[in-house]
Structure 1
Amino acid sequence: MFELREEHLVQLLDQNCFVKPSKGMVFFGLRGCLPIDLDDYSFSDKHLLQVANINYLNPRCTLGQWVPGKGFAVFPGSTVPSQTYVSKAKSRNGMGANQLLTGFYEDYRKGVHHAGSRSGHEAFRQVNKLPIRRTADDLDFDVHDRVEFMSPFDNLHSAWSMGVSDGYASAGCQVVVGYPKCKSRKNQPNTGAWKAFHGNAYALPQDSFSYFLLEGRDAQKVALNGTSSLTARLRYGSKGKLVTRLQEELRKKKFYEGRLDMDFGVRTLLAVLNFQATHFGLEASDGIVGPNTATALNLTLPTIKDHAPLEELVGEPSTPIFSELHNPLQ
């Protein structure tokens, strides 16, 4: 068990060279991690969490909503597909189920998941191309599974789930425990954690939400780190001069032919995966630039000692983030 504080979310952004939000609400996911209090959806500057083993049968992840400077809320859910879909996809060379790589993703936009169907419901649609893994050899996902970059329509929606002991519905989408308001449920209200998650976001004038996804153990390490410095990491969605230096080193070694653009996008990801597979073997090709990969590339990862004050992430104090009619922070 560990206590995740708002300052730790800032540190996770810093450590991974993710762009810091300037205003509004941000979504985040922690894979393999659950809230201790599964029914507490309140906004606070801290929450208790615990690392959990992914089993593809039950929700074993945390989805979060964060308004910098005003706290964050956590919800049980899943960031991996359920075994029902993975099993069916296995016989189709992995087509039909996927697992999103960790990283920073922009533009989860208000919209309808499964529009036109009886299960269609208000959710958060993602239509951009994303880096995903597909498995064709077993019923879980690991570094041996192929990476594709495509538009899998991995939205963020209701899990159709009673709780963390129940099953859930996801072929690769990010899902929150609960049931949605939709025709197949005779338009009964949203339930469970999904009711709170949906209500918080849909009460805002904000239409698009950024989302960063990490492993639960990443958050645990930062939370338990104390005052020690953190070593930077680079992964999909990282931005900045350190990414350019990574691209330069990959180019020197003939693994990267793209632009030096400070953006860890698909070309940089594929270059890192190929470099790792060549130098360490496929079992080490996770697409994340940590100390071992950096050393092999002659790249120095800086330590993150002085974190930006939380106040720097907050917009103008006079600018209301939530409507006066519905403020989930009250």
Structure 2
Amino acid sequence: MENALSKQISLVERSIAQLDNWITQNGWAGYDPYDFKQHPLFTTSKSTFTKKTLGRAILLTESFFPMLTRRVLHIPREVNAKAMGLFTAAYQILYKITNKDNYLYKSQETLKWLEENPSRGYMGLCWGHPFGWQSRIFIPRDTPSSVITAIVGDALWRFYRMTGQSIYLSYCQSICEFFLNNLNIDSLGEDKICFSKTPLDNFHIHNSNLFVADFLIKIGNQLQKKSYIETAYKAITYTLSEQNENGSFCYWGRDQGGKCLIDHYHSGFAIRCLYSIWKSTNDKKVYNSLKRYYKFYCGRMFTNEGIPKMTPKALFPINIHSCAEAILCHSTL
């Protein structure tokens, strides 16, 4: 048993080293699964034929030949704030585990990029995608996202806790001010609110709502900002009120969703947020919701062999984000 565990640890260490070497050789810039949709064929064409027929052909081609599609469409590699936030947190964790200075240096490098490249023109620090993307509305390049900003915020929060440098706590407070002053906040009943995903929409999306609430509670506790915590609880109350009987949450709020959409990695996001909120508050309602959701996740989002499913009913497509989230979610809880 001990020998098997040792082999697994060695495999993980080799995989991390190989990935780190690849990043060192190739740099921070890369592609995103949705970046090709910023092409004018998708965003500016007024032709129904172009958007539907040609667009579907491109989507199909991209599924099988992702690199070729990007070369043909001249889609550049970009540095993505979400990736940089995740890199920053990952290198901090690796430094904490190994005490190797090169991981600390890389964490500082990615952190510096984030400090120098926020979205501009808002009341607090925030970050978005380096490409436009189509949801129910079109979201232009660099429009700040609550999810991306919360992920970057987590990296800043970790760095503050690791170093004690107050500037990083001030960055976290600035992020909270963005959430409270630039996102749209819809009232959805008594003591229930939902934060929008970006300043441009009024989407009711449970995982992004929880990302914001979790961050507000962490920083509210640290700064003794009662207003942050009270606002966060209203968002939490809304999301908890929409939990399904089987323990899951739909991606969209019920007033906007129609069909209940559930996928692997967004479920993992929400579960980790609920866990973090529970750790910060010791709230029994949050714990009970988390327990039910995690039971659903373990029972419905994996095959019997442990392969992460894309949805409760569909294994395919095998999604690297789902695989990564499965590791992260289980290891967090």
Structure (1 or 2) with the greater strand fraction: 1
Q: Which has the higher contact order (CA 8 A, sep 6+)?
A: 1
Larger radius of gyration: 2
When the two structures are superposed, what TM-score results if normalisation uses the length of structure 2?
0.24
The alignment's TM-score, normalised by the length of structure 1, stands at: 0.24
